Structure 1
Amino acid sequence: MPKQNIFDNETFFEGYRKIREKESNANDLFEIPTLFSLLPDLTGKRVLDLGCGYGEHCISFVQKGAEKVVGIDISEKMLEVAKSENRNPRIEYLLMPIEDIAQIAEKFDVVISSLALHYVEDFEGVVRNVNNLLTPGGEFIFSQEHPFNTCHSTGERWTRDEKGEKIHINLKNYGIERENESTWFVDGIKKYHRMFSTIVNTLVEAGFAIEKMVEPLPDEELLKKFPEHKDLFHKPDFLVIKARKHLGTP
């Protein structure tokens, strides 16, 4: 079965790029700062970026001292931008689905993924492959859409008062792990819902120790500038996890 490659859809690609250019986009305000706050010292490290997109993170890893960065993505459009705007002699970009990383014949000290794993059906297989690609004690740091997001499929996400203000989220079928289709610029975008326990247990069973989990929320200063993000106190948008491969694992 072919892997989902929504980013090569022209409508989706342009819509996504416009969102990322907005000052108030949640990636730049919450997800990326949190992900980067969990990074170790990258000096002399070999880094693998799963779902590298435009390659902006890959450049940042090099600037932070990484010896080599391999960025993989399934999207030719994304990699065209990466190779044009974010190239560096220490960066190698590969056209590859995340599910196929077992084909990579080298080891890494750090594996990082930003908002890509909720598009992957075989999460367990990917986590096992990441563990195999890491050196002993290596770190796996990733973000994904929050499980309270991925469990939503149809219907109104929020209950609102008579003024249209959000009162609470409408949460249903959280305990049913499944593929959901949604509309975001285009129809038929597939995301995979997994419970917190499944995510954590999959990591542990694959040979990882969980070091930190973060559900980013706005602080007072950010809320003054972007008050619309107060709804994150009802439902965080992102889950960010730092896990470490056990030292005794080859």
Structure 2
Amino acid sequence: MKQNKYDDPGFFRNYSRMPRSVGGLEAAGEWPVLRSLLPDLQGKNVLDLGCGFGWHCRYAREQHARHVVGVDISEKMLERAREMTHDDAIEYRRVAIEDIDFPANSFDVVLSSLAFHYVQHFDSVCQKVYHCLMPGGSFVLSVEHPIFTALPAQDWYYGPNGERLHWPVDRYQDEGLRQARFLENDVVKYHRTIATYMNTLLDVGFTITRVAEPGPTKEMQEAQPEMRDETRRPMFLLISARKNEKQ
């Protein structure tokens, strides 16, 4: 299933109002850690899967990447990305992540931010990423944490006065489709365990180099007090991996 909610006018309007949509990478709580997982991008060919507004594409060029390709299934997202980009070395293509088909050894770095929990067949995408990466190339990804995706409600358990008592976790081992509610819309997500994410990468041939479960920075908690609850359970899972040098 290839989902494209972002071209729905109402959904796109709500998404465009989110803090990370307005403020970019600095408004994304996981960005400082994700940035630390990226290799040196100078002179590299970079692929961004699910590029959205193109924030990571532009960052890669700021770090002197040689050429950047951003792919996304949403024409509205790509239209906004093109409006915000003034750089001939960044190329945007409309294609579903599942349908990428790049030649072998095309890229030095592949990254993806908060997209793979919308993808049903993570294993086949990993195989395609491995194929298009140069030997020694890096694959850095972030997803909604499996503790967050386990239940479709993706919400706290509240007390009688509306206080957030705890984050419920159930059906964790029951991988597969979840009909979640996001930005006042029904959205299909795919839950998989931490082990599945990591073992899929290993089975394809990657070497995992780092795993992180970041929370909001102190600065973000001070600026947005509601973010303090995000330290009570992980919301993001970040993984960096490397393609072996010898093929």
**Structure 1 length normalisation: TM-score?**
0.91
Could you tell me which of 171, 174, 192 is aligned with 1:173? 171
Residues in 2 aligned to 1:138 and 1:18: alpha-carbon distance in whole angstroms: 35
Partner of 2:226: 228
Partner of 2:92: 93
Partner of 1:30: 29
Partner of 2:69: 70
Map 1:98-117 → 2, pairs under 5 A: 98-103=97-102, 107-117=106-116
> Cα gap change, 1:21/1:216 in structure 2, threshold over 3 Å: closer, same or farther?
closer
Residues in 1 aligned to 2:16 and 2:97: alpha-carbon distance in whole angstroms: 21
Shift of 1:55: 1.3
* 2:212 is equivalent to residue 196 of structure 1: no
Residues in 1 aligned to 2:3 and 2:161: alpha-carbon distance in whole angstroms: 39
Give the conservation status (yes or no) of the 8 Å contact 2:11–2:185.
no
Deviations, residues 1-25 of structure 1 (Å, cap 9, x unaligned) = 6x11111010110100101368899
In the alignment, structure 2 segments of 5+ residues that lack a partner are none
Match of 2:180, as an amino acid?
S
Give the conservation status (yes or no) of the 8 Å contact 1:31–1:216.
yes
Residues in 1 aligned to 2:21 and 2:79: alpha-carbon distance in whole angstroms: 22
Residues in 2 aligned to 1:25 and 1:153: alpha-carbon distance in whole angstroms: 27
Residues in 2 aligned to 1:140 and 1:168: alpha-carbon distance in whole angstroms: 33
Residues in 2 aligned to 1:170 and 1:110: alpha-carbon distance in whole angstroms: 36
> Cα gap change, 1:25/1:63 in structure 2, threshold over 3 Å: closer, same or farther?
closer
Residues in 1 aligned to 2:171 and 2:98: alpha-carbon distance in whole angstroms: 26
Map 1:28-67 → 2, pairs under 5 A: 28-67=27-66
* 2:181 is equivalent to residue 183 of structure 1: yes
Give the conservation status (yes or no) of the 8 Å contact 2:45–2:65.
yes
Shift of 1:162: 4.1
Q: Secondary structure at the match of 1:205?
A: helix
Residues in 2 aligned to 1:202 and 1:27: alpha-carbon distance in whole angstroms: 30
Q: Percent identity?
A: 43
Partner of 1:130: 129
What's the C-alpha RMSD, in Å, of the aligned pairs?
2.2
Residues in 2 aligned to 1:160 and 1:55: alpha-carbon distance in whole angstroms: 36
Shift of 1:202: 0.1
Match of 2:206, as an amino acid?
F
**Structure 2 length normalisation: TM-score?**
0.92
Shift of 1:86: 1.2
Shift of 1:222: 3.6
Q: Secondary structure at the match of 1:243?
A: strand
Partner of 2:9: 10
Give the conservation status (yes or no) of the 8 Å contact 1:11–1:185.
no
Match of 1:108, as an amino acid?
F
Q: Secondary structure at the match of 2:86?
A: coil
What is the count of residue pairs matched by the alignment? Answer: 247
Deviations, residues 92-150 of structure 1 (Å, cap 9, x unaligned) = 11110000112556610000101111100010000111011100110000111111111
Deviations, residues 185-216 of structure 1 (Å, cap 9, x unaligned) = 34331100000000000000011111111111
In the alignment, structure 1 segments of 5+ residues that lack a partner are none
